[in-house]
Structure formats: C-alpha cells, structure tokens
Amino acid sequence: MDNWLKTLIAAACMVVIAGGGYYAWSEYQENQQSTSLSQNREDSRRVESLAADRCFKIVNDVVAEHAKQPITQPSQVSDVTAHDLGLCIRRVNMGDFTKNELEKTGLWQVFGNS
C-alpha cells in the first residue's frame, strides 16, 4: 500500500477519534451543569421551606441532643439534618442567632463552611 494512503487512513482515524472525544466531553459537561442546576434548585426550594423558626428548632434540637458531647463532624447527625443545618447556617437569616452564638456551639465550624 502506498504511504500516502496509509497517511490518509491514519488521519481519518484521528479525526474520528477526536470527534468522538469532543462529543463525549461536551455531553459530560452538559450533564455536570444539569446536575449542578438541579442541586441548586433543590437547595433553593429547601431553603424556602426552612423558615427561620424551623432553623432555630433544628439548631436547638441538635444542640440539646449533643449537649454533653459537642458535634465535631457532620457524620454525628443524620444526612438530612446535616444538610438542613448547613443550609440554615449559610443561607437563612436567623436574626439574633448570630455567627458568634453558632461558633460557641461549634455548629459554625462544622456546618457553616461546607
């Protein structure tokens, strides 16, 4: 077989492989963006349902439950409670329950920065 034909076939194979890679990468990125948007929408809906009084209740319940042994990591509470605490601390205006008060309980360090 002539060298020019081998080169042509190799070039065609490279174009097909590059096109497949580009397609796969663009699909992956689109899926990642869609997942991120879905999570943001879910968090926004959850924040709306977590009014300040509900956040106070969650925080007070967790503090009372762990009064003898403070929380040092999110795994010490249920996944839903950990997620809700993080949302309350980061996104819900809880009025007088300030960052300093949350720091005293240790909740700010555990859930406020995640």
Provide the pLDDT for residue 96: 59
pLDDT band (50, 70, 90) for residue 21: very high
**pLDDT at res. 108:** 78
Rounded to whole angstroms, the Cα distance separating 97 from 112 reads 13
How many whole angstroms from its chain centre is CA 72?
20
* 66-80: average pLDDT: 81
CB 111 within 8 A of CB 89: yes
The tokens for 18 are 């590059």
Tokens at 105, concatenated? 């309980």
Alpha helix positions (H), 50-105: 52-65, 79-91, 99-105
